[in-house]
């Protein structure tokens, strides 16, 4: 749909691409990098990551950006599409010795023009809390590496909390911290709080309050990324063992799981309404998983290598009633109440409930288009549309509605398709076709299934029959109108209270820390590290050994089940856009209100203006002398 050029041009770096909304353009003057603009030699370095925060200052220029390149960490005023980047004046610059920053996260609740709280995770396992405006380092957690010696893979503030944060490590463990507590001078002792299928949650045994409050042990191998649901009540974890696990955060209960087609899962994100989760990883696919049905509803194939980041575009996601169009867009006041720098992860509850109500309680047909994007180690950016013929295959489409997005009415349908429904949707060529998906969000009875499964965006149909996957199409979704907001009502810190009043704890384990474990996890591409290799004689570790053995046996049996359907059993999406946009592997994709932001391993953070949003001044940058940074 957005194909531009071919042949020799396929390997060229693209500076613009076209979707049905218009043309996205790379703003070369809005590129952020190290002040000398020299490409970073990325061999052996941790991925470049980007974090945003809005400090709500009165000047209207309250956006701040943080990114790490090698041993360096930079903090700038982010001018976006409005003005050229001035790299000669970072607000803060830090150079670390002996360890490298791997990830970071701002707390949007406490951010002001005078102070921000920034968490930074490191390759040796420490977590630092810094204020780059005041240029203070307030606290260092896991300083002696007594809690975990392995690399920090993901760090996030708990939504709605000013003091709680969650840290994931390549050991496969997650730890819940409180910024007010110390980490102690000895290794923590744990007692079991909750155990389930290939996961366990422990509390820290201590007479006084200390970190960590909780330890989660999830799956086998590294825990590569986690993401909180928009309402903050659920936690999606992408692990190196190939499993997506979704937990109720307060109760620490497993809600559902999904298995990658092969290899580890590297990234995960939630739709703005919390109904769908997209994961990507070493199978080169993006996989769409339904939160309500707990099953795979679609896969997307466009990348030629591992998928490193997936993110929903909340500004292009839209919803319409059958005869009452109402675009679900960034101009909606629901979204203005929420900080738009959360990359689709932390949406306002009002917008969450709005989509939920439209999808589950309205008896009229509903039209929804979810836009999400992905970037990978193949240096390509892909954009995808998830449309209602994939989401609700058994619902008759409204005869009065002719497009699923206000901006898509002029989009021609893709060629070479055989629609099974009479109404055409103009959403990126995914014409009204049937497939195996959620059919219970309306009161309509399930229609009969076609003999073949669809391929979105003009991919040819498969000749394989639908097979035996239909009985699960309604599983657990009859009460979907309650949505995710009804399943957990306690606040984010209630899990701590429950941790200390648990009465059924019968055993505890001492966390064993060995350097050999760190070395085993240094190569990210290794899969299925068994917990059984950890030398510990505690009963809890022996339990984990037996769990890991059964998990490996189960993994071989997952293909063809609801955990991991075969390729022909679910719809296969084609990307709307698939463009090579960098020379090195891509590590960042963030959707903002007037642009999208990407970054590659060379250390260049690029801003792509949305259609009609190019308001950039043509002023050139003065590559001044590199400012003297703080050597930490």
Q: For residue 58, count other CB atoms closer than 10 A to its CB.
A: 7
CA 417 to chain centroid, in Å, comes to 32
Higher pLDDT, 447 or 555: 555
pLDDT, position 439: 36
pLDDT of 485 over the 70 cut: no
Q: What is the mean pLDDT of residues 551-571?
A: 81
pLDDT of 39 reads 87
Burial class (CB in 10 A: 0-12, 13-18, 19+), 553: exposed
Please tell me the predicted confidence (pLDDT) of residue 10: 58
Please tell me whether residue 451 adopts helix, strand or coil conformation: coil
**DSSP letter (8 states) at residue 274:** S
Residue 550 has a pLDDT of 53
d(C-alpha 156, C-alpha 105), whole Å:
6
Cα dihedral sign for 504, 510, 511, 516? negative
Element (H, E) at 354: helix 349-360
Confidence of residue 393 (pLDDT cuts 50, 70, 90): confident
Q: Decide if pLDDT at 31 tops 80.
A: yes
Q: Looking at residue 621, what is its pLDDT?
A: 41
Q: 508 CB contacts (<8 Å, ≥6 apart)?
A: 189, 190, 191, 192, 202, 205, 540
The confidence score (pLDDT) of residue 230 equals 97
On the CB side of 255, CA atoms within 13 Å amount to: 26
Q: pLDDT tens-digit profile of 246-259?
A: 999 999 999 999 99
Distances (CA, A) of 201 to 192, 224, 239, 499: 6, 18, 16, 9
* Residue 368, pLDDT score: 79
Identify the band that residue 232 occupies on the pLDDT scale cut at 50, 70 and 90. Answer: very high
The mean pLDDT of 110-127, rounded to a whole number, is 96
User: What's the rounded Cα separation, in Å, for the pair 10 and 468?
Assistant: 40
Contact 548, 530 (CB under 8 A): yes
Half-sphere exposure of residue 308: CA atoms within 13 angstroms, side-chain side: 26
Sign of CA pseudo-dihedral 97, 100, 106, 110:
negative
Confidence of residue 578 (pLDDT cuts 50, 70, 90): very high
pLDDT the model gives residue 328:
38
**pTM of the full structure:** 0.70
Poorest-confidence range of 247-256, 279-288, 313-322?
313-322
Q: 631: buried, middle or exposed (CB in 10 Å: 19+, 13-18, 0-12)? A: exposed
Average pLDDT for the chain = 74
**Pair 260, 565: CB distance under 8 Å:** no
- Identify whether the C-beta of residue 46 lies closer than 8 Å to the C-beta of residue 102: yes
pLDDT value, residue 76? 96
User: Which tens digit of pLDDT belongs to each residue from 160-170?
Assistant: 999 999 999 99
Q: What are the tens digits of pLDDT across the range 186-207?
A: 999 999 999 999 999 999 999 8
pLDDT at 464 over 70: no
For residues 304 and 272, the answer to whether their CB atoms sit within 8 Å is no
Radius of gyration of the chain, Cα coordinates, nearest whole angstrom: 24
Look at residues 399, 405, 393 and name the one whose alpha carbon lies nearest to residue 442: 393
pLDDT higher for 304 or 464?
A: 304
Beta strands across the sheet bearing 234-239? 223-228, 234-239, 243-248, 253-259
Nearest in space to 523 (alpha carbons), one of 102, 127, 44, 40: 44
Q: Are strands 72-77 and 366-376 parallel, antiparallel or unpaired?
A: unpaired
State how far the Cα of 249 lies from the Cα of 125, in Å rounded to an integer: 23
- Give the number of other CB atoms < 10 A from CB of residue 358: 21
pLDDT for position 165: 98
pLDDT at 417 over 50: no
Edge-to-edge strand ranges of the sheet holding 101-106: 101-106, 118-122, 127-131, 136-141
Helix, strand, coil content of the chain in percent (nearest 5): 15, 35, 55
- Say what the pLDDT of residue 614 is: 81
C-beta atoms surrounding 385 within 10 Å: 30
φ, ψ of residue 473 to 5 degrees: the values are -70, -20
Tokens 């590129």 correspond to 31
Tokens read off for 57: 């200052």
Q: Is 259 exposed, middle or buried (0-12, 13-18, 19+ CB in 10 A)?
A: buried
Cα–Cα nearest to 331, from 594, 591, 81: 594
pLDDT of 360 higher than 90: no
- Which residues share a beta bridge with 265? 281
In Å, how far are 260, 476, 551 from 197, measured between CA atoms? 17, 19, 8
Confidence of residue 268 (pLDDT cuts 50, 70, 90): very high
Separation CA 163–CA 445 (nearest Å)? 48
What is the predicted pLDDT for the residue at 586? 97
Collapse the DSSP code of 588 into the 3-class scheme (helix H, G, I; strand E, B; otherwise coil) and give the result: strand
257 vs 152: CA distance, rounded Å: 23
Contact 484, 355 (CB under 8 A): no
Confidence at residue 58, expressed as pLDDT on a 0 to 100 scale: 73
Looking at residues 575-592, what average pLDDT do you find?
96
What's the whole-number mean pLDDT along residues 292-302?
Answer: 96
Cβ partners under 8 Å of residue 229, min gap 6: 235, 236, 270, 274, 291, 484
The answer to whether the CB of 276 falls within 8 A of the CB of 298 is: no
Cβ partners under 8 Å of residue 313, min gap 6: 344, 371, 372, 373, 383, 591, 596
Instruction: For residue range 46-66, list pLDDT tens digits in order.
Output: 999 999 999 987 777 899 999
* Nearest-10 Cα torsion for 435, 438, 444, 450: 10
**Residue 318 vs residue 190, higher pLDDT:** 190
What is the reported pLDDT for 388? 86
**Residues sharing a CB contact under 8 Å with residue 294, sequence separation 6 or more, in sequence order:** 246, 255, 256, 257, 475, 476, 562
Strands 318-321 and 243-248, sheet pairing: unpaired
What pLDDT is recorded for position 61? 81
Confidence of residue 127 (pLDDT cuts 50, 70, 90): very high
């Amino acid at each position: 749909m957005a194909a531009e050029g071919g042949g020799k041009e396929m390997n060229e770096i693209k500076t613009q691409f076209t979707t049905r909304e218009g043309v996205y353009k790379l703003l070369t003057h809005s590129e952020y990098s190290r002040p000398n603009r020299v490409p970073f030699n990325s061999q052996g370095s941790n991925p470049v990551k980007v974090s945003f925060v809005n400090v709500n200052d009165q000047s209207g220029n309250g956006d701040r950006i943080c990114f790490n390149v090698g041993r360096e960490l930079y903090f700038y005023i982010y001018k976006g599409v409005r003005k050229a980047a001035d790299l000669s004046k970072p607000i803060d610059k830090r150079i670390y010795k002996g360890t490298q920053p791997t990830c970071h996260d701002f707390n949007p609740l406490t951010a002001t023009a005078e102070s921000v709280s920034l968490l930074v995770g490191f390759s040796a396992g420490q977590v630092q809390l810094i204020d780059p405006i005041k240029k203070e380092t307030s606290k260092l957690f896991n300083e002696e590496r007594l809690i975990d010696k392995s690399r920090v893979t993901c760090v996030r503030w708990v939504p709605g909390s000013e003091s709680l944060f969650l840290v994931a490590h390549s050991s496969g463990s997650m730890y819940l911290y409180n910024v007010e507590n110390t980490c102690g001078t000895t290794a923590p002792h744990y007692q079991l709080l909750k155990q389930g299928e290939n996961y366990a949650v422990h509390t820290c045994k201590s007479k006084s309050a200390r970190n960590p409050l909780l330890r989660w042990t999830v799956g086998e191998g590294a825990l590569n990324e986690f993401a909180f649901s928009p309402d903050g009540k659920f936690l999606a974890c992408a692990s190196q063992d190939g499993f997506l696990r979704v937990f109720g955060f307060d109760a620490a209960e497993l809600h559902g799981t999904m298995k990658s087609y092969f290899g580890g899962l590297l990234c995960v994100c939630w739709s703005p309404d919390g109904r769908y989760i997209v994961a990507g990883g070493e199978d080169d696919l993006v996989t769409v998983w339904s939160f309500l049905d707990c099953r795979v509803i679609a896969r997307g194939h466009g990348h030629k290598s591992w998928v490193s980041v997936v993110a929903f575009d909340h500004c292009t996601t839209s919803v319409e009633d059958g005869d009452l169009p109402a675009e679900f867009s960034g101009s909606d006041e629901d979204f203005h109440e929420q900080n738009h720098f959360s990359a689709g992860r932390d949406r306002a509850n009002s917008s969450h409930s709005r989509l939920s109500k439209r999808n589950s309680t309205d008896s009229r047909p509903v039209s929804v288009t979810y836009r999400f994007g992905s970037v990978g180690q193949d240096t390509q950016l892909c954009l995808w549309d998830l449309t209602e013929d994939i989401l609700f295959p058994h619902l008759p489409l409204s005869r009065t509605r002719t497009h699923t997005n206000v901006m898509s009415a002029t989009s021609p349908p893709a060629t070479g398709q055989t629609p099974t429904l009479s109404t055409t949707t103009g959403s990126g060529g995914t014409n009204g076709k049937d497939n195996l998906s959620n059919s219970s969000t309306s009161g309509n009875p399930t229609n009969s299934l076609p003999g073949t499964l669809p391929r979105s965006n003009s991919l040819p149909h498969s000749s394989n029959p639908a097979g035996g996957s239909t009985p699960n199409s309604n599983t657990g979704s009859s009460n979907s109108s309650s949505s995710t907001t009804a399943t957990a009502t306690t606040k984010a810190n209630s899990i701590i209270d429950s941790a200390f009043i648990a009465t059924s704890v019968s055993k505890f384990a001492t966390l064993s820390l060995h350097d050999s474990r760190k070395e085993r996890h240094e190569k990210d591409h290794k899969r299925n590290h068994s917990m059984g290799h950890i030398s510990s004689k505690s009963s809890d570790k022996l339990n984990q050994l037996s769990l890991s053995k059964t998990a490996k046996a189960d993994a071989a049996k997952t293909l063809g089940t609801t955990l991991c359907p075969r390729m022909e059993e679910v719809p296969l999406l084609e990307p709307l856009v698939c463009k090579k946009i960098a020379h090195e592997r891509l590590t960042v994709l963030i959707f903002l209100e007037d642009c999208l932001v990407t970054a590659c391993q060379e250390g260049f953070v690029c801003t792509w203006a949305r259609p009609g949003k190019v308001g950039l001044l043509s002023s050139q940058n003065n590559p001044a002398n590199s400012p003297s940074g703080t050597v930490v």
